[in-house]
Every structure is written in structure tokens, then in C-alpha cells.
Structure 1
Amino acid sequence: MGIVVTGATRVDTDSLETYGEWDFDGAVTSPTFTAHPRTDPVTGEMFAFGYEAKGLASRDIAYYVMDAHSKVLHEVWFEAPYTSMIHDFVVTRDYAIFPVMPTTTDLDRLKAGGPHWQWDPSRGTCLGVMPRYGTADQIRWYRGPARWAYHFFNAHNEGTTIHIDGCVSEAQAAPFLYPDTLVYDAPKGVSRVTRWTADYAADEGNGFEEQVLQPEFTEFPVIDDRVETGRQRIGFAGARVLGDEHKGGNGIALLNSILRYDFDKQQATGQYVLPEHFTFQEPVFVPRDDDAPEGDGYLLVLANNWTTMLNDLLILDIAELAAGPVATLHLPLRLRSGIHGTWVPEHLVQAG
């Protein structure tokens, strides 16, 4: 199944033929559906949400839990403090977390033909936390300074204490999302490996703690999916080597390396840097075998060659990450930046 922000799109797992938009047999009534559903490898459940769920600029969010066969088990509707672009969210063993950050919309602006989304740091950040199978009256909002994150590694909880790990910047990273009244601040738009910590036992309105774990510009974080919703030790992300003005454009095009990060040690423990004129898209993690320890395996990653304007598929052995690819597939074409992907083991495809 492929997911886009306007709805879910169903595909054939064998042929990859697109069947079209799918509403889970009528069970999902939100017209929007997240680009980043989460799964629990223990229960097989999938967690998803839609924002602007009652129309343009509405504050409504719809939250869904599906079983391994895509049957909707749980549905909750609630309102966010304000309407925000919510590209990603995270789920733990006990909680679901909805990051509302100040890239906002306004119905009057839309009616006047203005842009859908604009950065508005005056709003601050609100983390909505609710029990994983909770109800609308159980959501609590924890507030902090204006921040932006497109993507998160994962989250886990220890009792009521919740840790959320992502690639976070002090300001919106995309310059085209700034209103004329604000100046784009490129250094503040650099996202870094960051941990937010909130306590569900604390009263609503309390803040959350923030800890920047890694100084390098990082984006497109991934983990070993076998530990999702639990405590992850290892994460991977595209990164930019500090001080290296790598050729190939700006923004995400500056991701010229793959970083391995150890959350227990709170430090990078491996990195592969591409040759000049190459940049990365998002890596995909593949376990070495079914019983491999967490984070042991391979990374599949598309590399953009800015000289030939073609793509290579690199296979990196995580145990020897700095050594570079163990295999390279030179593609005879230029692929669009698909950015995201997921490795699905054959036994899960066969199980339907």
C-alpha cells in the first residue's frame, strides 16, 4: 500500500499495480491520510491519522488503529490547538504523539488565493499525547518553543515518560513557506538529531524537554522496523559532513553521507561519505537475517549523480559502513526523488 497525504492508495503487492484510492472498505472517513503511518511489529497493528480532516484549515485530526489485515479497530476525532501541517507522528507501546508545529494555514488566506502553508513561529509547538487506544478527552498538550520536524525516528515510553526522537530544526526548513513579513533564516532551518521528552502524568499545558544529540544536518531518519514503538538503540539518517560545501544544490540535496547513530551512547558510531557530486535520498534498512540483532544488516539507498544526472542504487553493509557500498547498481535513467521507501520481508507479503 502506498500512502499520500490526500488519501491511501492501494497497490498489488506482487505486481505493484495501482488499484487506486482506498478508504479501508469505508471505515476511514477522513479525506486525508498521513504519509507516515506507524506499525507495531509485535501486534501487527498500523497507526495512522489525517489532519484538516473536516476540510481546508479545519483543526480536526482523525486517528486510526488498524489490525494486520487493515480492519479499523479504533477511531478518534479531536481538535488541535491550531491548524498545522503534520507530516509525521509517532506511537509508543502505550501512547500516540501528534506534533503540532507552526507551519500553519488560514481559511481567509486560502480564499484570497494565498499559499496553503506558511511558517508562523508566534504559535509555538504543541505535542499532543494520548493513550494509544485513548479517547478525545484523554489527549494532553505539552507546549514549547517554535520548532519544525518533517520526520521522526521513533518514540518509546518508560512508564508515563515519553521520549520522541527526530530530526528537528529551530525554524521551517523550506524557504518557500515563509511569508513576506519573515526573513528565511537558513542556519535555523538545519535539522539535527533531537530528543523531546514529555511526561503524560504532568498537567496539560506543561512543557517538554529538548536535547540536541548530534550537531550535523540530518534528515530522512529510519530505524530497524522490528523495534518500532519500543526503545530503539540504532538509527540511520542522511547527513551533511560538517564544513563540506558538497556540490549538488541546496536543502535536502546537501545530504552527502549516511550516519549511524547510537541512542544509548548518544553519539554517531559510523558514517559513509559519498564522493563529490553525489547526494543521497532516504536509506532503507534491511536486516541481515530474521534473527539479526537490532541494526545489523544492510542499507539500500538511492544516490543522485549530479554529473551524469542518473541514479545509482547502493547496498551498504552496516558493519563496514565507512568502507562504502558492497554493491552498486548503475541505473540507466534518472529517477524522481521518491524520498521514502520501506523494506517488506517476503513472509509478510505472502501473509497478505
Structure 2
Amino acid sequence: MIYLDYQASTPLAPEAFEAMVPWLRDQFANPHSASRMGRAAKATIEVAREQIAALLPQGGRLVFTSGATEALNWALKGSRGSIVTIASEHAAVLDTVRAEGARGREVTVLPVRPDGRIDLWVARRVLGQGAGVLATMLVNNEIGVLQPVPELARIARQHGTQVLCDAVQAYGRIAVPDTCDMVAISAHKIHGPKGIGALWIRDGVTLDPLLDGGEQEHGRSGTLSPALCVGFGVAARLMKERHAADTAHVDRLWDMATERLRGWTINGSVEHRYRGNLNVRRRGLDVNRLMSDCRNVAFSAGSACASGSGRPSHVLKAIGLLDADARSSIRLGFGRYTTEAELEKGLNEIIAAADAQQLPA
């Protein structure tokens, strides 16, 4: 299987796996226990917390969660005041915002331009009216476009609005602006394990708890898994250590892919994007048939979180694509463990299958 679906999930780093094994097999103590074994588990969690925080702004605390969805839910539901967000956000934000709106909270969803980026003039006008929190992605999970988060954060701060940054696709790849007030991240997007994420919270920012219980994480209740925390920490350390090499490798893969896919249209800004995400369309393409014909290549027709819905991508609709064009789009994701030979073979299969659809019956 050729894996080109890095936005859905990344392969687990071997170093992270090896670091997790002892905490799964032998060192099973509760890290919130006062026993010697419990204290050892807690100590290793704190090492992991430091490794993860090293890629985030200073002046805040990192709280482990079950994943980015919980982190985003907590940041939005635990904050106060009206919410401003963007039409191309992940469902974990948009669905949470809708739920808060149904409870009577004021909500504004800003449109994006055809390149997938927010119009700062529109943002300035809306934020100038005052808001409790602005929720924005740094890198879009479907089309890889970078939002101008530093500029948005400056505008928000001028009007006393807190900024929640969904950095799930950016963390470890694109620097998180130090003007954010809350940052949500996820381990399995950076070659770490599934089932763990985190919310970084700036000092002085207070959130109502999402979960009631033992307050194990100083605002978040629930027993932590040392194994998952360790795996997350090692994955974060590797993202920092290998940043330059990973970036150069992704750039080479991007150049290969865009050259092979000449004639296809790239969705979203080509200039302002993370290059490990290539979302392209070809007019008249039957994506369901394409995926069936390319069973040995893992890629996506949209967000993994919305797969099977039958609806065209809300992100592609937000940038103005017609349903037919949105349904003729695919997302290719690649990274550290994608070889050039694998990418070339995968692209050859996709292009051959797409060409075959154009042949007369």
C-alpha cells in the first residue's frame, strides 16, 4: 500500500513506538498515584510535556487531552462571549460553534476568498464590533492553505478578543504565532500515537471545565496514559530535530507531484500553503471510481472526518467550487516516510486511472 493520506493521519515514528512499549507492557502505574511507580510515571509525563511545549509559545501551560477535538471543544465551550470563526474550519470547530449558537451564544462565520484565505478587511470589520474568541486554523486540513494568523491575532488583540488557533496540521511544521491565546494540537498528525492531543493555554486565560472529575490536569479531569504522553513527546522532539530535513523532503515531493499533475487544478492558494498537502481537481473526474481503481494507493476525497457523508467538501464549497468540481477533487498528503519512488508509483496509478475515465466506452 502506498500511503498518501498524511492529513488524515501520519505513520507512527519507530522511535515513538519504542519509547511507548515499556509504559504499555511493564510500567503500568497510575501517574496520579503517590506511589513510587506513580511518581515515576508522572515524571516521564512531565518530560513529554516539556518536549511538546518546546514547539509552542512561551508563557502558557500545556494540558493533555484525548485529542484535538476535545481541546477545541474545551477552548470554545469553556470561553466566554461571542464566537467568530471561518467557513473553512474543521468540523470540530464548526459543529461546536453551531452547538454553542443553538444554546444562545452569538456566532459569526466569516467567508474565505477563492484562494482559501480570509479577507483581513472583513475580519477587521467584524472583530471591531467585539467578540469573546476568534477560532482559526493555521493550516487547513483539506487544502493546506495557511491563514494569516499573526495578522488576525493582532486585529483580535486590539479589540480584546482571545485567539484560539487550530494548529493540528501546522504544529512542528509551521511556527505557531506567539500572539495566540490557545492552541490545539494532536499527536497522530506528527508521527505520534492516536488518542492524545493537547491544549496550550496562555497564562492568565481561564476556561470553564469541559469535564468534571478529579482535576488531574489542572482544568482537565481524567487519568493520563503515560505511554501516549511519551509517544507524543518523542514525536514532538523528532519534529524539532528533523524540521529542516522534513521540510526539504516535502518540498522535493511537492515539486515531483505538481510536475506529474500538470493539467490538474490546485485547490487553494499555491503561495500560502503547507506543501505536504496537495488538493487537486480534474474536470469530470469520478473520484469514487478513481479510489476503487487505485486500491493500492491511500489518498482522500476530502477530510477523513467527513468521509462517507456523500456531501461535497464544505471547504471546497467555501472557496467557491461548484458541487461537480468539489466532487472531482482529491487530496494527496505526503511527508517524512514517503519515498520519491512511492510517490511516483502512486501518482502513475492515479493518473492512469483518471486517464482511463476519459477514454470512449
TM-score (norm: length of structure 1): 0.26
Greater strand share, structure number: 1
Larger Rg: 2
TM-score (norm 2): 0.26
**Relative contact order, higher structure (CA 8 A, sep 6+):** 2
